[in-house]
Amino acid sequence: MGIPSGGGDHLCVLIHGLWGNPKHLEYLTTAIRQRYDDSELQILVVKRNSGTFTYDGIELGGERVTREIEDAIEEYARNGVEIRKISIVGYSLGGLVARYAVGLLYSKGYFDRIRPVNFCTFVSPHLGVRTPLLGWHNHIWNVIAARLLSVSGRQLFAIDNFRNTGRPLLSVLADKDSAFFKGLERFQNRVLYANVVNDRATCYYTAGISRFDPYVDLSDISLNYVPGYSPIVLDPDNPISAAIKEENEKLPVARQISGTTHSATMRTPMVLIYAIVVPIGMILFLLNSLIQTMSSMIRIKLHSSDKLGYHRLPLLVEEMQEAAEGLMEDIHHEMVPQHLTASSEESVGERLVNTITPRKTVPTQEGVEDSSVLITLADGTIPREKSDRGPPPPKSTPGPKSVMEQLPPPPQGKIEFPTLALSHQQFEMITNIDKLNFRKYPVFIHNDRHTHAAIIVRKPWAKRWDEGRVVVAHWLDKAFIV
């Protein structure tokens, strides 16, 4: 590993996503290093779970990453650096691998001697990648697609049986009595970033851990940004307001460029995709999936014996794989999410309508106006994510909070959003994970439709992804503690 002697005692671990490799995290690594040299912060970009190894599942990936972290801590110690603090950052699937690794580190007692500081995910599918669908649509897409990505696919679509518990791994990760949950509780700062549009791999509801999607139709809302990071990073406490538009007013150019799932569906009818594109692309994808599933099964059997070497596909096969996987993301993006109906509501026990109610602008004791929003469900509960686990805010008088608490919910001005057709287990995951008080930052990437890659500037030389630099800057400025 070539770890130098001396340096800071804080280790920051970066974990890439599905089909990924350490190069995907090159910009994140560079941005961190420009802020903090190794006298303040050590950086570990994990590499033992790269490429097709990510097919092997969250559990096996988490074990590999944990061992790599342990080995790094030991090597730092041999070089005179005692790691006393740790931060873990996961991108895409890497966020789930990170949550599994956190549980292993916690259960091994690492957090009793190493202080967990930051846990951050960028566009990670915390609720899986199941498209919210009902009826036969649900079975055709979510059940079949889950079997195309080996163990990782079954876990991401939550149709696996984790260690014969009768529950999918994602449900166990979110169990408040599990080591995975208790390990996350130990972190001082928990934040996540979620794209609001055009994320072809991880849509908003799962990256943002939400039961509804307020960004389906941007023409109905106005977006409120974090000052200094506009128009990209939204204010997590007050992300949207009701749109006030004049008749025949056109959307801003940025919104026309971005579009939504519904507009994408109108541009490219599903019939055309199924009839022409899918047969050719799926043949390549299925062949590749068969090869990778067989290879994954072999690796899983060999895992305990440590007989694995670095596995790499021939270049041509890798290019075919990348193209086929891109097609799968496109198809996933074209699936229009469905919402609960009156009958399906009874089966999962969830209310149909969620509302975001803009608060009245009121003067505080200091004369400062407060125009935050209150997010309520139809049953009157308030699933607020108010706890800011980031750098401590400056102290202020309790005026704003006390005034807000005295305000009754206004009867008008509500923006209503139907509940997505999530599974019962996904609703349970939301309830449990929200107890961890993640600071949730919605992100609006305007200039490219591949926002999943743009949010972390996966290719630093790609100018079209420069908006992601603003997201990374916000993370380091406002949501990362050294």
Q: Catalytic amino acids?
A: 92
Angle, in degrees to the nearest 10, between helices 26-35 and 467-478:
40
What's the one-letter identity of residue 55?
A: Y
Token pair recorded at residue 377 = 């469900």
- Name the residue among 101, 87, 1, 93 with its Cα closest to residue 50: 93
Residue 339 DSSP symbol: B
Residues 6+ positions from 447 with CB-CB distance below 8 Å: 254, 257, 454, 464, 466, 467
Residue in the block written with tokens 């030389």: 461
Residues 6+ positions from 316 with CB-CB distance below 8 Å: none
- Give, in order, the Cα–Cα distances in Å from 475 to each of 28, 91, 257, 273, 471: 10, 13, 25, 38, 6
Dihedrals φ, ψ of 377, to 5°? -100, 170
Residues 6+ positions from 109 with CB-CB distance below 8 Å: none
Radius of gyration of the chain (CA): 22
How far, in Å, CA of 137 to CA of 132, rounded?
Answer: 9
How far, in Å, CA of 361 to CA of 368, rounded?
Answer: 10
The answer to whether residues 89 and 454 touch, using CB atoms and an 8 Å cutoff, is: no
Task: Report the DSSP pairing between strands 42-45 and 10-15.
Answer: parallel
Residues 6+ positions from 138 with CB-CB distance below 8 Å: 131, 421
CA dihedral of residues 423, 426, 431, 436 (deg, nearest 10) = -170
Residue spans of beta strands (DSSP E) within 109-187: 115-122
Strand partners, 80: none
